[in-house]
Structure 1
Amino acid sequence: MDSKHLLKNSIDRSAFYKELDSLNLAPLWEVLRGLVPADPRPIAAPCAWHWTTVRPQLLAAGASITAEEAERRVLVLENPNLRGKSQITDTLYAGLQLILPGEVAPAHRHTQSALRFVLEGTGGYTAVDGERTTMQRGDLILTPFWTWHDHGHDGTDPVIWMDCLDVPLVGFLKTGFREEHAETAQTASRPEGYSEARYGSGLLPVGYRSGSLTSPVFNYPYSRTREALHRLVNSQDIDPHLGICLRYLNPTNGDWVMPTLGPTMRLLPEGFSTSSYRSTDSAVFVLMEGEASIEVEGQPSVKLKVNDVFAMPGWCKYRIHASKGECVLFSFSDRPVHEKLGLFREEKE
């Protein structure tokens, strides 16, 4: 077909597109810029959830449904641009879970990896593959993919933690599996503290070979993390973009604690303001101590107090200011996935 004939028939484009559609074909040139954009375009919006608003709703949930009925009594943190999808960002899930004295959240397992970050209360515990660990505020507890886990409460006051999972990523790959345990709670097969003693003291058993992509330590106590931040803030230069920022470590290989979720803890001295920063990974922040404000480019500054949560979609330019006291912020992101796929990029100003 000569060029003149092609030019003549170009006016019949709409009919041509209908014919393509009937054959399950589509013209790339109509969607190319959206399919391969010049820079990342997350759907999720930066968003804050304030503890003084959310906590009463959690307690109300505790009065309306038991942990056994709900299986997991959780209020999902839904991004306003992703309502109905149970996502806090395009790639991450987060929810706030409440367990009351005497309750047990039944044992199950799933292919989604999970972190538990404890926000309030004592006496709660998680059991993972036959080993129990007691929860304290600020502790980071791992639930590796496809491990049996249940939660319980031996104390007297409500216990609340944030569940952090890779649900959207696993869902996108269509690799989600789930199974219920035959018993409500697992039978203990190892004493509490076993994993920390065996793997978490800077020592490993002679001849140890890891058979998992996830850290064998599954409770990272806040007391130890906080002490490390305190020592470093008084003995090293502070990164202008991140403050004193430490990542939780798999002691067997030096990698992130999980293949899909990258948790960190950072400290900003009182009055410290970070320089503008953005990266491709999406993240969720929780303020542990002090008061802070987060300023996302093009949006009003948001003030954060203790236990407030903030969702930061990927490639959003932001700054953090420690407005009162030393500010300690926990975060988790999908950065391990970006790094392993060679997609991670950051921009510092």
Structure 2
Amino acid sequence: MTSTPENRGRNDQRSQLEMLYAQMAPKGLLPLWESLHALVLAEPKSPAQPWRWGYAEVREYLMRAGDIISAQQAERRVLIMENPGLSGQSAITPSLYAGLQLILPGEVAPCHRHTQNALRFVMEGSGAFTALDGEKAIMQPFDLVLTPAGQWHDHGNETDQPMIWLDGLDIPTVRLFDASFAERLDVAAHPETVPAGDTLARYGHNMRPMRGSAADRRPAGRPLFHYRYADWRPALEAMAGSADIDPHLGHALEFLNPADGGPILSTISAHVRLLPAGFETKPRQSTDGTVFVVVEGEASLLLGDEEIQLGPRDVVVIPSWTPHRFLSRSQTILFGYSDKASQMKLDLYREHNH
């Protein structure tokens, strides 16, 4: 390069800046002008990658782990679904965690509670339980069970078959705020406080005990924690039989907190979709990175020129602001959860339907 006064001036400025940066760095000071473009993006650019976990393959590894380590030893025998773009973070999206948990016959996953919100979506098995503050939710395939922040919970399997479910937590979100607390109960299982299903009977039918009455015993802000497949599947089917289909979502229903009509957890939203056979959604993108489970059917996730094949019980993640379409090969039911609840509270959520 030809040396000119202008080039010499730029080089001199750069050398002065580099000297300034070297002197500032030990003081915990950095120049914003060197990184502003990477800190304030024109649109989301998630480090997470779209990724599929085939259920049969993950299940094989999980059962092998079950032969080696007990639920009591592990506290929670779970295989983390770590996004390849988030190596070392135990995260499926930058704000969410996902893992498959195994409880074998006769086992109890010990009782604890923590700051993190969690949901359990049952993948396999029937009759095991999650207990919340001493009340058992008897779990069936594709039930959704919540363990909200700060509530005691344990899991047990009194059947003769293994029980597997998807754990979805806001672990990365809590980590971001450095706000994690956890404690264990001094016994493996919380003493039973009410019969199994008591909360469903009181709060699960678009009704609730009169406020302030002796029967109104659950936390006022989050009374319901068991959303049964036997209830949500017929509701979704009935809607699909009469409602106009949304071109971007298919037929979709959100799980709601009956106390306020909002998301099921303070940081996590969840929903289900029905895509008729042969239906292709129009392109859509949203800021909430979403984890999907294929409840039934076969479909393709279309990401530009990339096509990801999905079958029953497969798990797939779509990162924030990733344009995508679904093409159903047969009638397909999807369950999905995301951080939309957090984003709505923070005025961050945005979507674009093409």
TM value normalised by structure 2: 0.93
Return the alpha-carbon distance in structure 1 between the equivalents of residues 221 and 334 of structure 2: 23
C-alpha contact 1:109 1:148 (8 A) present in aligned 2? yes
Extract unaligned runs of 5+ from structure 2: 1-8
Return the alpha-carbon distance in structure 2 between the equivalents of residues 8 and 266 of structure 1: 61
C-alpha contact 1:131 1:192 (8 A) present in aligned 2? yes
Of the candidates 162, 167, 170, which is equivalent to residue 166 of structure 2? 162
The alpha-carbon distance between structure 1 residues 166 and 210, as it changes in their structure 2 partners (threshold 3 A), is: farther
In structure 1, give the amino acid aligned to 2:300: S
Alignment RMSD:
1.9
Of the candidates 178, 198, 201, which is equivalent to residue 197 of structure 1? 201
Aligned pairs for 1:181-196 within 5 A:
181-196=185-200
Of the candidates 298, 301, 304, which is equivalent to residue 307 of structure 2? 301
In structure 1, give the amino acid aligned to 2:153: H
| Cα shift at 1:8 | 7.7
Extract unaligned runs of 5+ from structure 1: none
Find the counterpart in structure 2 of residue 34 from structure 1.
38
What is the CA deviation profile of residues 202-258 of structure 1, one whole-angstrom value per residue up to 9, with x for unaligned ones? 112222599858531111000111101111111010000011111101111100111
Q: Secondary structure at the match of 2:86?
A: coil
Percentage identity across paired residues of the two chains: 44
Find the counterpart in structure 1 of residue 328 from structure 2.
322
| Cα shift at 1:262 | 0.4
What is the CA deviation profile of residues 56-79 of structure 1, one whole-angstrom value per residue up to 9, with x for unaligned ones? 111111111111111111010011
Return the alpha-carbon distance in structure 2 between the equivalents of residues 252 and 289 of structure 1: 30
Find the counterpart in structure 2 of residue 254 from structure 1.
261
Find the counterpart in structure 1 of residue 80 from structure 2.
76
Q: Secondary structure at the match of 1:72?
A: coil
Find the counterpart in structure 2 of residue 342 from structure 1.
347
Deviates more, 1:171-180 or 1:198-207: 198-207
Aligned pairs for 1:1-349 within 5 A:
12-208=16-212, 215-298=222-305, 300-324=306-330, 326-349=331-354
| Cα shift at 1:186 | 0.8
Q: Secondary structure at the match of 2:297?
A: strand
| Cα shift at 1:20 | 2.1
Q: Secondary structure at the match of 1:234?
A: helix
Find the counterpart in structure 1 of residue 6 from structure 2.
none
Give 4+ residue runs of structure 1 displaced > 4 Å after superposition: 5-11, 208-214
Matched residues, number: 343
In structure 1, give the amino acid aligned to 2:67: A
TM value normalised by structure 1: 0.95
C-alpha contact 2:220 2:259 (8 A) present in aligned 1? no
In structure 2, give the amino acid aligned to 1:74: V
The alpha-carbon distance between structure 1 residues 214 and 145, as it changes in their structure 2 partners (threshold 3 A), is: farther
Return the alpha-carbon distance in structure 2 between the equivalents of residues 94 and 6 of structure 1: 50
Return the alpha-carbon distance in structure 1 between the equivalents of residues 343 and 184 of structure 2: 32
Return the alpha-carbon distance in structure 2 between the equivalents of residues 240 and 109 of structure 1: 41
In structure 1, give the amino acid aligned to 2:318: M
Return the alpha-carbon distance in structure 2 between the equivalents of residues 55 and 6 of structure 1: 59
